[in-house]
Amino acid sequence: MLKINYSKNFDKNKYLKDISNKPFRVYLCKKDKNNKCIKDDNNKTIRNIRTEFKNIDDFKQKKTVTLLEVFNKFKEIKKDNFDIIFKDISFKCLLIGNFKTIQEIKQNIQTDSAIKENKSIKFLFDYTNLRKTYISLFFENNLNISTCYYCNIDYINSYNVEKKKKNKFTLDHYYDKSTYPYLSLSLYNLVPSCYACNSKLKGIVEFTNLSPSFQKFDFKNKVKFKLFLTENCVDLNIKSLKNIDIELKENYSNDYNGEKGYIETFKLNERYKAHKDIVFEMIKKAELYPESRLKELQDLTGIPYQQIKKDIFNLIDDDMDLSQKPFSKLIKDISKELELIK
């Protein structure tokens, strides 16, 4: 629903450096049936070279290797068709290429069962292994996350517990990581979202829309909340929630609707109808505080009536990042419907 506004602090090169330098142990200990390391007669751990590195002489003399080293070496020795799959595709582009680059990579790599089950790709691009220690931490520290970018309903902000930082967000893979495992670490394939949107509703749906991480994402302007009243309502004389309805309407395009669009996938109309009380309260306040009353309050308090209006109706500034407050798009769109703002 809302475009991700990446600030100057969102240092993609730091992300590249952190992930590229992620170390892998070349040797693992040999384990017994109880999953405990086996030791020899001199009490030294018996080591086995990792399966992924068994045929790579360059790695046998090292204790650890980085993720970038492994990627380049796999291409060089043509392991599991890395030379063909990632021909002319650099590790840098896979990690921090913008959304358009991600789309181009996806088009260039013919995704089939062989790609999905490629053991070397699954090993190298293992998101689970990096999620907590690298990726989530990077988003916590470099993006001002407050609400879900898909629904703008729930807070997903970070918080502190016993001097440790926690977060409420999940990172959705816009292009599903099981279908496109080579995009599982791609920075601009990750969208901070709430649990409901990510796990309960989206799943592995592949949208026909653009990602909130793309510069041309424009749900904010192309889709608006519209207010509908029952026939017996005259001049906003509304008695109860039953007299009103709200619905997202898209103008001049059909980019965000349809079977695999945001509105249908995230059940946005159905979920927002459960929050009609926000709109109902705005309408009742509009009855109590017409323009004439606001100007009376201005005369009494000396506070400009525009500021009084903003405070009473909780209005959203034009330049505000809507992702910082739940229901901000709803409030802004309905404020225009009620002519509270121009």
Q: What is the pLDDT of the chain when averaged over all its residues?
A: 86
Q: 33: pLDDT confidence band, cut at 50, 70 and 90?
A: confident
Q: Which of 36-45, 172-181, 254-263 has the lowest mean pLDDT?
A: 36-45
Q: 326: pLDDT confidence band, cut at 50, 70 and 90?
A: very high
% of the chain at pLDDT higher than 70: 93
pLDDT value of residue 99 = 93
Q: Pick the residue with more confidence: 143 or 31?
A: 143
The tokens describing 88, both together, are 């002319």
Q: How far is Cα 288 from Cα 308, in angstroms, rounded to an integer?
A: 13
pLDDT value of residue 251 = 76
pLDDT value of residue 85 = 92
Q: Give per-residue pLDDT as tens, 106-122.
A: 988 877 888 888 999 99
Apex CA 127: angle with CA 125 and CA 132, to 5°?
140
pLDDT value of residue 180 = 93
Q: How far is Cα 180 from Cα 108, in angstroms, rounded to an integer?
A: 12
How would you write 311-341 as a 3-class SS string? HHHCCCCCCCCHHHCCCHHHHHHHHHHCCCC
Q: Pick the residue with more confidence: 165 or 60?
A: 60
**Three-state SS for 81?**
helix
Q: Give per-residue pLDDT as tens, 236-250.
A: 667 777 778 899 988
Q: How far is Cα 328 from Cα 220, in angstroms, rounded to an integer?
A: 11
């041309």: which residue's tokens? 216
The tokens describing 283, both together, are 């309408």
Please give the average per-residue pLDDT across 255-268, as a whole number.
Answer: 82
Q: How far is Cα 97 from Cα 261, in angstroms, rounded to an integer?
A: 24
Please give the average per-residue pLDDT across 130-157, as a whole number.
Answer: 90
Q: Pick the residue with more confidence: 35 or 145?
A: 145
Secondary structure letter of residue 135 according to DSSP = I
The tokens describing 257, both together, are 């609707």
Other C-beta atoms within 10 Å of 121: how many? 23
Residue 328: CB partners within 8 Å, gap ≥ 6?
A: 147, 152, 316, 320, 322
Please determine, for residue 338, whether its predicted confidence score (pLDDT) is greater than 70. Answer: yes
Q: 135: pLDDT confidence band, cut at 50, 70 and 90?
A: very high
